[in-house]
Amino acid sequence: MTRLSVNINKVALLRNARGGNLPNLIEVAKDCERFGAEGITVHPRPDERHIRYQDVRDLKDVVQTELNVEGYPNKSFLALIKEVRPEQVTLVPDPPEALTSNAGWNAVEKKGELLEIVARLHAWNCRVSLFIEPVKAQLQASKEVGVDRVEFYTGPYSEGFVDNAELAMKPYAEAADFCKKVGLGLNAGHDLNLKNLRFFAQNCTDLLEVSIGHALISDALYLGLENTIQLYRRCLQKY
């Protein structure tokens, strides 16, 4: 069964809006695990507009499943990773000022840079995933730089799903088959939700993990956090 990692950035954003510690990010992370999440994802940015660097340190002490830390590999991010040593690091190509991640790496162009970064992260005993688009040349380059997994950027799938689910899924299904062939583990994330997740998971070969935040936290406002996590997990069950 594909693992569900809950991205709690939006919880931190709500907390930061008023200062203080409400909602309590650490307690929410623990609740997510208690309700069935199989990982916790965070994406700290240099301006700490949602997840703070100290949050990552605090989460490492309490997360019992897997901590997945996403980010652009600048000097401060890599220093944090060296200190915390999360189970998984997902490298994203967006600059620090970006609102959200909306494109995958150009691993072909950045191969030399990524080789050095991936080697450093492996020396710190972190699994490395690369945020990528379902393009064969980029996946091949990802394999060559030594990452353990890739995370498909699923924004285009989510946009195309409403009009033509099969057409939207086609490049991801083909890319998933290629990943299996070359030995790349496969994660996915961005704009996946209760409407489109099941179809994606059923048509993506050997999908190991999805990371979902915005939609899941939004659904939890109406459905409750425990119920929402269970609904997302059901979408990932194999029939």
| Catalytically active residues, by annotation | 43, 70, 190
Tell me how far the alpha carbon of residue 9 is from its chain's centroid. Answer: 11
Q: What is the 3-state secondary structure (H, E, C) of the chain?
A: CCEEEEECHHHHHHHHHHCCCCCCHHHHHHHHHHCCCCEEEECCCCCCCCCCHHHHHHHHHHCCCCEEEEECCCHHHHHHHHHHCCCEEEECCCCCCCCCCCCCCCCCCCHHHHHHHHHHHHHCCCEEEEEECCCHHHHHHHHHHCCCEEEEECHHHHHHHCCCHHHHHHHHHHHHHHHHHHCCEEEEECCCCCCCHHHHHHCCCCEEEEEECHHHHHHHHHHCHHHHHHHHHHHCCCC
